């Protein structure tokens, strides 16, 4: 789902033997692996951050050691801040350096190099030159640079340092010198052959490495494979999970700790089960949805880290073996049997289950308080008026018809006092000496009381004022500017809608204006997720924390439906509903609950619980022919469905033949979010299909744990073990290290 950032896993049924450091088997122990003095607690894992790379820049927060590993370890750099690895997609035939000076003798050249070193920073090499001549037979060279452009960029830096007489020296490379990749360190180009491995190790345990502006725990390895240059991050499994869990289940949108713990255990089980998945490339898992989304230290959040640490070593087992802990974003109401999606063996713990609460709990809230529609200029202001009443800004009004009546000066003063008190401004406000105020007088009064003269002076253009008040030339002076600013700021309605500039101002209009002022200063409503009623008090989740509030017996209750909000004398709650509320004096005085879906499905809150996709025949035909050469698309026919009613077999009919597509390939071929769909066809004037309309549910592959469902279960008080055992049938939760 997008805004929530929860991503699904495209599961690949391909398992490799276990690969670990120095080809040793995985040990679920808590001892430590040492890399030249740097420790990684076991179990550790290798994560591929990129394959077929051509340019890798690695940085360190406080220094790193760089080792060349062949038959032995060779230290290439110590306390380095940055290094670049260049992959040669083609044979390298040349390299470049920048000559900064020449000298007649080697001794003169070396002395000059020492003098220049502090200014240049890069290592300066002293080499003989073949031509000799009056300039001298010894060169002072900086670099290696792989391209002439890199050398030119460096010359521009030298020019700023005062080096003027510098030029580029090109060197041809023999085939022997042209290796698969090279390390660029402090201006030195070190060619490496295909058997060489580079280790990048933080200089101390508090340091971290970074790549592509993301920070990572652990160490890096760069090696050459059949697929090109590979960058690998080696780290402890739980450190790895701290960079996975927030990417797979956003702790900002899905911060319930029990759901986060369930995700942590699922991700840990998946990781340990799939160690060695990419052994031919030298790592275990990659950092994409093909394995699990991993963004390193940069992605970590406090709730997800807590979930990982509080479940250290815990995994999901079936018959004492690690399960394939698949998970999906939004199952759409029911998960699917694994064999209907991935076409592998039936697994007893990956069966389709309904994504509904295990125990049905419901709470009923009642009130005698309500407010009929308050209509002003065609707008229903009842919710805004109720909010002002709940905040004690305006008094309770038994008859909504009174809001159509003019507001007098005494009442205006009292309401404005209420607004300023709500804003924390409790200075005395004298009663007005007039029976009523014009719009311009009210605007000037509010500008003064709110301390807005500087806004009017500096944020209003005279042409704006003349434009919005062009039909009211009788309004003049400062009042004209104050009123114009209030209209442009959205506090006052345009006067044409308000019925002109003259009094009387109606109570409804004054309520509208005061609400707008309040909303400009602070949020009117608090937001959260209703969890339960506990001893006649509301438990509402805010910022991942359970907060308990009393409910006023005279609170306004509102249902928020697709068509807007409406007042109600009772609302029934199941837990997990989005709620807006107003808290006054420690009690909820107004509660608005999202009633957009009456379904009992746990993931109904997801924006992708239900979806619609409309594709033209030509668009879909182009996509399908990338997979199967079927010619002109004629029809799409679901032939079989799984236990969750997902399409498990789909016949695609074209002018050049037909194809039976099965399992997860259906989703890939059609380019849909899920395989839980029905298809309707639009017919053109000639009787041919012009459009295919897909109506579907969910997002992901639909197998295993439903992440949005897990979040909803956690909201209603279920533990992480309850959640896991719901979606993975017959499992146990045990510690393996």
Strand ranges inside 226-368, DSSP E: 228-236, 285-286, 314-318, 321-322, 327-328, 363-366
Helix (H) or strand (E) holding 411: helix 409-422
For residue 648, pLDDT beyond 60? yes
366-418: per-residue pLDDT in tens?
998 888 888 888 889 999 999 999 999 999 876 777 888 888 888 888 899 99
* Mean of pLDDT values over 451-471: 92
Environment class of residue 457 by beta-carbon count within 10 Å: exposed (0-12), middle (13-18) or buried (19+)?
A: exposed
Question: Residue 658 — pLDDT band, cuts 50, 70, 90?
Answer: very high
Model pTM score: 0.71
Structure tokens at 378: 């065609």
Q: Which residue has the tokens 């003989």?
A: 128
For tokens 């009443």, the residue is 389
What average pLDDT score do residues 160-171 get? 78
The per-residue pLDDT for 565 is 86
Going by pLDDT thresholds of 50, 70 and 90, the confidence category of residue 529 is confident
At 369-380, the pLDDT tens digits run: 888 888 888 889
Selected residue with higher pLDDT from 501 and 36: 36
Using the predicted structure, report yes or no on whether residue 106 has a pLDDT greater than 70.
yes
Over residues 116-163, the pLDDT tens digits come to: 887 887 778 888 775 555 556 688 888 777 777 777 778 878 878 888
Hey, which of 111-125, 305-319, 463-477, 551-565 has the most confident mean pLDDT? 305-319
The share of the chain scoring above pLDDT 90, in percent, equals 52
pLDDT at 318 over 80: yes
In which band, very low, low, confident or very high, does the pLDDT at 501 lie, cut at 50, 70 and 90? low
Provide the pLDDT confidence category of residue 432 given band limits of 50, 70 and 90.
low
pLDDT over 70 percentage in the chain: 89
> Per the omega criterion (within 30 degrees of 0), is the bond before 484 cis?
no
How far from 230 is each of 225, 455, 717, CA to CA, in Å?
A: 7, 57, 44
Residue 431 CB contacts under 8 Å (≥ 6 apart), including other chains: 409, 410, 413
pLDDT, tens digit, for every residue of 13-32?
A: 233 232 223 333 334 555 66
299, 247 contact by CB (below 8 A): yes
pLDDT tens per residue across span 544-586: 788 999 999 989 999 988 778 899 999 988 877 889 999 998 8
Q: What is the pLDDT of residues 188-208, one digit of tens each?
A: 788 887 778 999 999 988 889
pLDDT in tens, 671-699: 999 999 999 999 988 888 999 999 999 99
Higher pLDDT, 174 or 664: 664
Rounded alpha-carbon distances, angstroms, from residue 176 to 56, 128, 173, 191: 23, 22, 8, 10
Average pLDDT along the chain? 86
Residue 131's pLDDT is 55
74/22 Cα distance (integer angstroms): 18
Nearest to 486 by CA among 463, 453, 511, 525: 453
Helix H or strand E encompassing 64: strand 55-69
In angstroms, rounded to a whole number, what is the distance separating the alpha carbons of residues 151 and 170?
Answer: 10
Categorize the per-residue pLDDT at 700 as very low, low, confident or very high, splitting at 50, 70 and 90. Answer: very high
Report whether 349 contacts 359 (CB < 8 A): no
Residue 1 pLDDT > 50, yes or no? no
Q: Could you read off the pLDDT of 49-102 as tens digits, one per residue? A: 999 888 899 999 999 999 998 878 889 998 899 999 987 654 556 778 888 888
Sorted by where each starts, the structural domains of the chain and their CATH numbers stand as: 21-87+187-327 (no CATH), 94-172 (3.30.70.1070), 364-437+503-599 (no CATH), 610-697 (no CATH)
Average of pLDDT values for 287-307? 95
Across 643-664, average pLDDT = 94
């Amino acid at each position: 789902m997008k805004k929530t950032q929860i991503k699904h896993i495209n599961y690949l049924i391909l398992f490799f033997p276990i690969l670990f450091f120095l080809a040793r088997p995985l040990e679920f122990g808590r001892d430590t692996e040492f890399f030249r003095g740097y420790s990684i607690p076991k179990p550790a894992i290798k994560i591929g951050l990129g394959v077929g790379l051509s340019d890798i820049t690695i940085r360190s927060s406080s220094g790193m050691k760089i080792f060349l590993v062949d038959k032995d370890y060779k230290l290439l750099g110590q306390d380095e801040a940055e290094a670049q690895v260049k992959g040669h997609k083609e044979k390298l035939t040349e390299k470049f350096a920048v000559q900064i000076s020449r000298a007649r003798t080697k001794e003169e050249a070396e002395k000059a190099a020492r003098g220049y070193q502090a200014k240049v920073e890069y290592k300066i090499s002293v080499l003989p030159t073949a031509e000799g001549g009056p300039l001298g037979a010894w060169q002072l060279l900086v670099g290696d640079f792989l391209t002439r452009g890199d050398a030119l960029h460096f010359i521009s830096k030298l020019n700023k340092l005062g080096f003027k007489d510098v030029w580029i020296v090109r060197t041809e490379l023999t085939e022997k010198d042209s290796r698969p990749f090279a390390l660029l360190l402090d201006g030195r180009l070190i060619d490496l052959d295909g058997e060489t491995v580079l280790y990048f190790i933080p200089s101390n345990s508090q340091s971290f490495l970074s790549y592509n502006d993301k920070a990572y725990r652990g160490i890096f390895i760069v090696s050459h494979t059949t697929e090109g240059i590979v960058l690998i991050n080696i780290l402890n499994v739980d450190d790895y999970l701290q960079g996975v869990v927030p990417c797979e289940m956003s702790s900002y949108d899905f911060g319930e700790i029990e759901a986060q713990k369930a995700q942590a255990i699922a991700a840990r089980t998946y990781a340990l089960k799939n160690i060695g998945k990419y052994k031919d490339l030298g790592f275990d898992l990659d950092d994409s949805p093909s394995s699990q989304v991993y963004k390193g230290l940069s992605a970590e959040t406090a709730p997800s880290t807590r979930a990982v640490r509080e479940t250290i070593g815990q995994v999901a087992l079936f018959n004492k073996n690690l399960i394939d802990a698949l998970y999906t974003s939004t199952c759409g109401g029911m998960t699917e049997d694994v064999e209907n999606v991935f076409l592998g063996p039936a697994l007893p713990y990956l069966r389709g289950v309904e994504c509904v609460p295990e125990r049905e709990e419901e709470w009923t809230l009642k009130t005698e308080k309500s407010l009929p529609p308050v209509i002003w200029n065609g707008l229903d202001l009842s919710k805004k008026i109720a909010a002002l009443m709940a905040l004690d800004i305006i008094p309770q009004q038994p008859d909504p018809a009174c809001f159509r009546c003019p507001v007098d000066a005494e009442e205006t003063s009292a309401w404005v006092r209420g607004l300023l008190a709500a804003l924390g401004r409790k200075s005395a406000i004298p009663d007005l000496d007039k029976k009523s105020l014009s719009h311009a007088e009210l605007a000037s009064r509010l500008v003064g009381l709110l301390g807005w003269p500087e806004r009017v002076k500096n944020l209003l253009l005279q042409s704006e004022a003349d434009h919005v008040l062009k039909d009211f030339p009788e309004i003049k002076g400062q009042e004209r500017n104050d009123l114009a600013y209030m209209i442009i700021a959205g506090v006052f309605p345009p006067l044409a809608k308000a019925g002109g500039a003259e009094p009387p101002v109606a109570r409804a209009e004054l309520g509208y204006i005061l609400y707008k002022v309040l909303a400009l200063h602070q949020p009117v409503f608090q937001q959260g997720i209703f969890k339960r009623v506990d001893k006649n008090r509301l438990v509402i989740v805010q910022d991942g924390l359970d907060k308990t509030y009393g409910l006023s017996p005279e609170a306004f209750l509102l249902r928020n439906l697709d068509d807007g909000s409406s007042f109600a004398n009772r609302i029934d709650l199941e837990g997990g509903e989005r709620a807006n509320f107003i808290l006054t004096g420690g009690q909820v005085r107004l509660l608005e609950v999202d009633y957009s879906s009456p379904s009992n499905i746990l993931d109904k809150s997801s924006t992708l619980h239900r979806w619609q996709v409309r594709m033209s025949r030509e668009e879909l035909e182009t996509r399908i022919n990338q997979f199967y050469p079927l010619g002109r698309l004629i029809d799409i026919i679901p032939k079989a469905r799984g236990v969750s009613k997902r399409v498990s077999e789909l016949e695609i009919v074209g002018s050049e033949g037909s194809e039976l597509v099965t399992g997860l390939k259906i989703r890939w071929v059609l380019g849909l979010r899920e395989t839980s769909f029905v298809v309707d066809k639009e017919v053109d004037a000639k009787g041919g299909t012009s459009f295919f309309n897909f109506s579907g549910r969910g997002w992901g592959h639909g197998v295993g744990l439903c992440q949005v469902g897990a979040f909803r279960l956690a909201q209603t008080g279920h533990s992480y073990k309850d959640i896991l055992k719901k979606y993975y049938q017959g499992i146990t939760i045990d510690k393996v290290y």
